[in-house]
Structure 1
Amino acid sequence: MTRPFVKMNGAGNDFVVVNALEQPFAPGDVQIRALGDRETGEGFDQLIAIEPSSSADAFMRVWNADGSMVETCGNALRCVGWLLMQANGSDHVVIDTAAGPTVATRAGDHKVTVDMGRPRLDWSEVPLAEAMDTRGIELQLGPIDDPVLHTPGAVSMGNPHVVFFTDRQDDGFVVASGSLVEHHPLFPQGVNVGFAKVLDHDRIRLRVWERGAGLTRACGTGACAALVASARRGLTDRRATVAVDGGELVIDWDEATDHVLMTGPVEIERTGVLSI
């Protein structure tokens, strides 16, 4: 079987996007891992299928490069939103996901704003395995009397995140620490791991180890989680620019609606055909 695709990225977080509005697309785990391999396959952080929806303009299904299906992906929502808006000529679309519906709005040339909804802040919503204050959960790496990382904030943006505040953001540190925390028993569904350095009240430098994808050039829900976690601690305002490896995302935690809005770039890299 062959299927045409569009290769896209949002601030460097890259996707293979397949139109499944008329013909179902349901690859298996082994196929997804083969397609996602950057040396022998097409290579991507996530594989995206745009499917029909009875309650929205489309449904977005997301698989990580390891074959696991996940609830949502912020950067992919911008890319899919842009494709749908280009197709129907509108300035906003509703995209349903496993984490619920999202509105995407045109914000300029190849730029889209996505309403990521209300951050889930209760321990049971993240979810965590036990009750604790998600402003700073009881988790640390390293010696008990001198931990390397400790007390991260926990947030769900439709998928689970922890955010450590640290100056250590080098590849080796992020990969080693992130892979360790991703499957910690405190997170029954696994977790995305953010490493945030607050540069100013309106600017954060962020790197993210993504659950099922590893170290990526950007993570949209991770940027939202980092802003929420830092604002809850009074480290930043409720609106900040989050600098990731692949670009910049503007995150606004709206006080009136309690929704998190993410604005960022969309790029088409190429088109091609998948052989499944």
Structure 2
Amino acid sequence: FAKFLYDYGYVHTLHFRISTAGGIVSANIDKQIKSKASLITIDMGKATFTAKEIPVNCQEAECFGCRIDIGGTQLTIHCVSVGNPHCVIFTDTLDEQQVRTLGPLIENHPMFPNRINVQFVRPISDSEIEMLIWERGAGYTLASGSSSCAAVAVAHKKGLTGKEVVVNMPGGKLIITLDSDWNIRLCGSVSQIAEGVLSDELTEELNRL
């Protein structure tokens, strides 16, 4: 979205702010190719592990390292909010079919009153992880910025990574950086994949909503 705003002239500076449902985030255009944004850094806000703020129905102050039964499978989950709720699960092997099977069961579990995004994460080193994603309301997803932020925040809190981590996903990679107060910065390359025009009929219908 930041690329769209910059490339199409809705903003005229390299640094600008965007109001989202999760709060205001700052965007910086780091690199351009032919006056189009090619590398962007986003200040994504702050991670919180407090159960009631995520929210998670949990007796503990944090749902971090909790064990739950999902479809007969025992899982250890770690929950965090980065403006939206996330449930992170660490695994030695990433399995897309497992994500597609367990993802919707976790998303809609009674522990999560607003449902939840799910990440299956395999640590590679203290500066790199790989991840598969089940996104709340969307299903299996090839890449996600907020999921990357959530996964790195949890991995760092568990002592598995440092504060700057490369996140590898089927849809691409991002670099996530944390500070000592759990503020998160996301950096990644961007490219336009499509352009379209809405019909007059659809535009009229949307304007009536």
Q: One fold, TM greater than 0.5?
A: yes
Q: Which residue of 2 aligns with 1:100?
A: 23
Point out the more displaced range, 239-248 or 124-133.
124-133
Q: Deviations over 1:107-131 (max 9, x none)?
A: 2231111111110210011100223
In the other structure, the counterpart of 2:192 is 268
Match for residue 210 of structure 1 among 135, 145, 164 = 135
Task: Determine the C-alpha separation between the residues in 2 that align with 1:184 and 1:118.
Answer: 25
Cα shift readout 1:156-204 (whole Å, capped 9, x = no counterpart):
1111000000134222111001011110000000000100000100000
Instruction: Tell me if 1:259 matches 2:180.
Output: no
Superposition misfits of 4+ residues, deviation over 6 angstroms: none
Question: Match for residue 62 of structure 1?
Answer: none
Do the aligned partners of 1:107 and 1:263 also contact (CA within 8 Å) in 2? no
Mapped to 2, the partners of 1:96 and 1:137 lie a distance apart of: 33
Q: Is the 8 A contact 2:96 2:132 kept in 1?
A: no
Q: How many angstroms apart in 1 are the aligned matches of 2:138 and 2:93?
A: 20
> For residue 269 of structure 1, what is the amino acid of its counterpart?
I
Q: CA RMSD in A?
A: 1.5
**2:35 equivalent in structure 1:** none
> Contact 1:85–1:92 at 8 Å: present in 2 too?
no
Change beyond 3 A, Cα 1:142–1:83: closer
Partner of 1:160: 85
Tell me the matched-pair count. Answer: 192
Amino acid across the alignment from 1:83: F
The 8 Å contact of residues 119 and 133 in structure 2, kept in 1 or not, is answered as yes
For the residue of structure 2 that corresponds to 1:137, the secondary structure is strand
- 1:150 is displaced (CA, Å) by 1.7
**Structure 2: which amino acid aligns with 1:81?**
A
Which residue of structure 1 lines up, in the alignment, with residue 205 of structure 2? none
2:5 alignment partner in structure 1:
84
Quick one: which of 55, 64, 67 aligns to 1:138? 67
Task: For 1:172 and 1:258, locate their aligned partners in 2 and report how far apart those are by CA, in whole Å.
Answer: 32
Task: Report the counterpart of residue 22 of structure 1 in structure 2.
Answer: none
Post-superposition CA distance 1:69-89 (Å, at most 9, x none): xxxxxxxxxxx2222233133
Any idea what the Cα deviations from partners look like across 1:20-39, whole Å, max 9, x if unmatched? xxxxxxxxxxxxxxxxxxxx
Matches within 5 A, 1:20-169: 80-86=1-7, 87=9, 88-109=11-32, 110-132=38-60, 133-141=62-70, 143=72, 147=73, 149-169=74-94
The answer to which structure, 1 or 2, has the higher relative contact order (CA under 8 A, 6+ apart) is: 1
- % of aligned pairs identical? 34
- For residues 174-189 of structure 1, the aligned pairs below 5 Å read 174-189=99-114
Q: What SS is found at the alignment partner of 1:101?
A: strand
Structure 2's unaligned 5+ residue stretches are 33-37, 203-209
Q: Is the 8 A contact 1:182 1:211 kept in 2?
A: yes
Give the match for residue 220 of structure 1.
Answer: 145
Shift of residue 142 of structure 1? Answer: 5.6
CA contact (8 A) 1:85 1:93 kept: no
Alpha-carbon distance between aligned partners in 2 of 1:131 and 1:106, rounded to the nearest angstrom:
43
Alignment-mate amino acid for residue 248 of structure 1: K
The 8 Å contact of residues 56 and 63 in structure 2, kept in 1 or not, is answered as no
* TM-score (normalised: structure 1): 0.66
1: distance between equivalents of 2:59 and 2:43? Answer: 28
